[in-house]
Amino acid sequence: MDVFWFFDWLDTSLLADISKAYGGVFAVVQMFHLLGLALMGGSVLLSDLRFLGVVMTDVPSKVVFDNTQKLFTLALVVLVLSGIFMASAVALKLYYNEAFWAKMAGLGLGILFVYLIRKPLFTRFDHDSISPAAVKVAALCSLTIWFTVAASGRWIGFS
Amino acid sequence: MLNEWLLAFARWLDGFSWSTQLHESFYMYAWIESTHVLTLMVFLGMLFIIDLRMLGFAFTGVPASTIAERLDLPMKIGMTIMVLTGFVLFFAIPVRSTQSIWFRMKVILMIGAIVNALIFRRKMLAAKGSAWDRDAKMPGDLRVGAGLSLGLWSAIVITGRTIAYDWYDCFQKLPYFMYWAAGCVDEMAALDRQGG
pLDDT per residue as tens digits for the range A46-77: 999 999 999 999 999 999 999 999 999 999 99
List the domain range (segments joined by +) for residue A90: 4-158
Determine the pLDDT at residue A132: 92
Nearest Cα of chain B lies from the Cα of A133 at a distance, in angstroms, of: 24
Is residue B130 predicted with pLDDT exceeding 60?
yes
Report DSSP letters for B97-152, one per residue: HHT-HHHHHHHHHHHHHHHHHHHHHHHHHTTTTSTTTTSSS--HHHHHHHHHHHHH
- For chains A and B, what is the number of CB pairs under 8 angstroms? 99
* Interchain CB distance below 8 Å, A45 and B58: no
Distance CA B174, CA B115 (A): 32
The rounded mean pLDDT for chain B is 92
Nearest CA to A48 out of A112, A107, A100, A110 is that of: A110
Give tens-digit pLDDT for B62-117.
998 899 999 999 999 999 999 999 999 999 999 999 999 999 999 999 999 999 99
The reported pLDDT for the residue numbered B185 is: 93
Give contacts of A58 with chain B, Cβ < 8 Å: 66, 70
CB pair distance less than 8 Å for B40 and A34: yes
Residue of A33, A158, A159 for testing the chain B interface, max B β-carbons within 10 Å: A158
> Which residues in chain B have Cβ-Cβ distances shorter than 8 Å to A35?
44, 48, 154, 157
Quote the CA–CA distance of A56 and B153 in Å, as a whole number.
24
Compute the average pLDDT of residues B156-185.
93
Query: In chain B, what residues touch A67 (CB-CB under 8 Å)?
Result: 58-59, 62
- Helix ranges restricted to H, A52-131: 61-89, 91-95, 98-112, 119-124
| Model confidence at A78: pLDDT above 80 | yes
Residues in chain B within 8 Å Cβ distance of A158: 26, 30, 34
Name the residue facing A37 among B40, B74, B158 (closest C-beta).
B40
Q: A94 — alpha (psi -120 to 50), left (phi > 0) or beta? A: alpha
Residue A135: HSE in the Cβ half-sphere, 13 Å Cα cutoff: 20
> What confidence tier does B134 reach under pLDDT thresholds 50, 70, 90?
confident
Q: pLDDT tens digits for A81-109?
A: 999 999 999 999 999 999 999 999 999 99
Contact A60, A126 (CB under 8 A): no
The reply to whether residue B71 touches residue A43, judged by beta carbons under 8 angstroms, is: no
Task: State the virtual CA torsion across A120, A122, A123, A127 in degrees, nearest 10.
Answer: 140
Chain A environment of B66 (Cβ under 8 Å): 56, 58-59
The pLDDT confidence band at residue B122, using thresholds 50, 70 and 90, is confident
- Residue B196 pLDDT: 55
CA–CA gap between residue B24 and residue B93 (Å, rounded):
10
Q: How far apart are CA B18 and CA B50, in angstroms?
A: 38
Residue B96 DSSP SS3 = helix
What is the model's pLDDT at position B46? 96
Between A23, A45, A63, which is nearest B61 by CB? A63
Count structural domains, chain A: 1
Interchain contact, B37 vs A158, CB within 8 Å: no
Partners of A39 on chain B (C-beta within 8 Å) are: 44-45, 48
ipTM of the complex: 0.90
Alpha-carbon distance values, B29 to A89, A110, B88 (Å): 25, 28, 9
Task: Judge whether B133 and B187 are in contact, CB under 8 Å.
Answer: no
